[in-house]
Amino acid sequence: MTHLIERTDRRAGPRAVTMAAALWTFVSLAGVATAQETPDQAELQALMAKALELGAPGPEHARFESMVGTWDTQMTMWPEPGAEAVIVNGTTESELILGGRYLLQAMTIAEGYFAGEAVNILGFDRRSGEYTLIGLDTVGTYWVTGQGPATGDDEAVLSGEDFDPVFNATQEYDFVLRWPDDGSFVTQIVFKDAYHTRGGGPFKMLETVSRRRQQPGNSQ
């Protein structure tokens, strides 16, 4: 289960966001100028244009649009390799944020031992050509991250790691994202570190399958 907290200034509106982006671009270009010979005006304009191009949503972000809405989510968990699966059901609400650059997914499990909330923020970094994920949940007070490329037309693998001082071990994991069709999406968490795998191969600890909730009168 993953989750993220996004911190914002409630006083900051769209203009403040635009100004912040422009300032960041200016600072980045100033860094380029100090790291090498000062570029001429044409080179600065080209750098600015490239920075603004990569800062805007691209074709990969269009996929997030199809993920907006209310989803019925089934979560399957395996406590350890070879253990019997535990299945719970929840609801996921997904919306675009920050001008379509990110997808905010908020999942709720209302009842049972695993009742709680989880949030993911899914993005695509056009500079590196990799998907990104930041998340946290009500299980802990920390967040986890992952990033990685598409591995097919309907799949991406995002890798990450996190040191857990409780177990004194570094967790190594992959988020595997799949889009089988427009009406569903799948997220898996696969652990690769010795602690979780018990010294074996990669261990899929969690899989969530979300299917779009049908509206009354909508048979599609």
Rounded CA separation 72/54 (Å)? 34
Q: 75 and 51 in one domain?
A: no
Are 69 and 158 found together in one domain? yes
Whether residues 48 and 137 fall in one domain: no
Cα 23 from Cα 74, distance rounded (Å): 43
- pLDDT tens digit at each of 220 positions of the chain: 443 333 333 334 444 445 455 545 555 555 555 555 666 788 887 878 887 777 888 899 999 998 999 999 999 999 899 999 999 999 999 999 999 999 999 999 988 778 999 999 999 999 999 999 999 999 899 999 999 999 999 999 999 999 999 989 999 999 999 999 889 999 999 999 998 998 899 999 999 999 999 765 554 4
Q: CA 191 from chain center: how many Å?
A: 17
Q: How distant is the alpha carbon of residue 151 from its chain centre?
A: 16
78 and 136 both lie in a single domain = yes
Question: 73 and 163 in one domain?
Answer: yes
Residue 115 lies in a domain: yes
Please report whether residue 2 resides in a domain: no
Indicate if 128 and 148 belong to the same structural domain.
yes
Pairwise CA distance, residues 122 & 17, whole Å? 19
Are 180 and 186 in contact, with CB atoms under 8 Å apart? yes
First CA to last CA distance, the chain? 29
Total of domains in the chain:
2
Q: Which residue has the tokens 């080209």?
A: 46
For residue 52, the enclosing domain spans 14-56
Type of residue at 132:
T
Residue 13: the pLDDT is 43
User: Chain centroid to CA 176: how far?
Assistant: 11
- Distance between CA 19 and CA 11 in Å, rounded? 14
| In-domain check, residue 3 | no
pLDDT in tens, 30-39: 555 555 566 6
Rounded to 10 degrees, the C-alpha dihedral 74/77/82/83 comes to -100
CA 135 to chain centre: 7
Looking up residue 154, the CATH number of its domain turns out to be 2.40.128.20
The residue among 38, 56, 74 that closes a domain is 56
Per-residue pLDDT, 36:
55
Residue 141 DSSP class:
S
Largest separation between any pair of C-alpha atoms in the chain = 65
Residue 217 in domain? no
Say if 1 falls within a structural domain: no
Q: Angle 14-35/41-55 helices, nearest 10 degrees? A: 130
The candidate with the shortest Cα–Cα distance to 67, out of 138, 145, 160, 133, is 133
Query: Does 153 map to a domain?
Result: yes
Q: Is there a single domain that holds both residue 118 and residue 192?
A: yes
Q: How confident is the model at residue 54, as a pLDDT?
A: 79
180 and 108 together in one domain: yes
188 inside domain? yes
Judgement on whether residues 183 and 93 belong to the same structural domain of the protein: yes
On whether both 110 and 201 belong to a single domain, the answer is: yes
Same domain, 50 and 76: no
**23 vs 55: CA distance, rounded Å:** 13
Last residue of a domain, one of 40, 56, 72: 56
Burial class from Cβ neighbours inside 10 Å (0-12, 13-18, 19+) for residue 198 reads: exposed
Are 103 and 202 found together in one domain? yes
Q: For residue range 197-207, what is the model confidence (pLDDT) as tens digits?
A: 988 999 999 99
Is residue 9 domain-resident? no
Using CA atoms, how far apart are residues 58 and 133, in angstroms rounded to an integer?
A: 17
Dist. CA 156–CA 145, nearest whole Å? 14
Q: Say what the pLDDT of residue 114 is.
A: 82
